[in-house]
Amino acid sequence: MAYKISEECIKCGSCEAGCPVGAISEGEDTYVIDADVCISCGACEATCPMGAISEA
């Protein structure tokens, strides 16, 4: 199951840098995860200082 980023995101970029498959990109208000690319490894969740990432 892919992960998602909530509105708690402060757009710090930690998750994008921590994603081993490049599934995260900067969106308009938050970073977004491409569910088709996400391998559900949880690396992004571990790097988010706001706790804004969870399983979808």
Q: What is the CATH number of the domain that holds 22?
A: 3.30.70.20
Q: What residues have CB less than 8 Å from 38, skipping those under 6 apart?
A: 2, 3, 21, 23
- The whole domain housing 33 covers 3-55
Distance CA 56, CA 52 (A): 12
Q: Domain tally for the chain?
A: 1
| pLDDT value of residue 1 | 79
Distance CA 20, CA 8 (A): 22
Give the model confidence (pLDDT) of 1-56 as tens digits.
789 999 999 999 999 999 999 999 999 999 999 999 999 999 999 999 999 999 98
Which parts of the chain are beta strand (E)?
3-5, 24-26, 31-33, 53-55
Alpha helices, DSSP H only, in 1-56?
14-18, 43-47
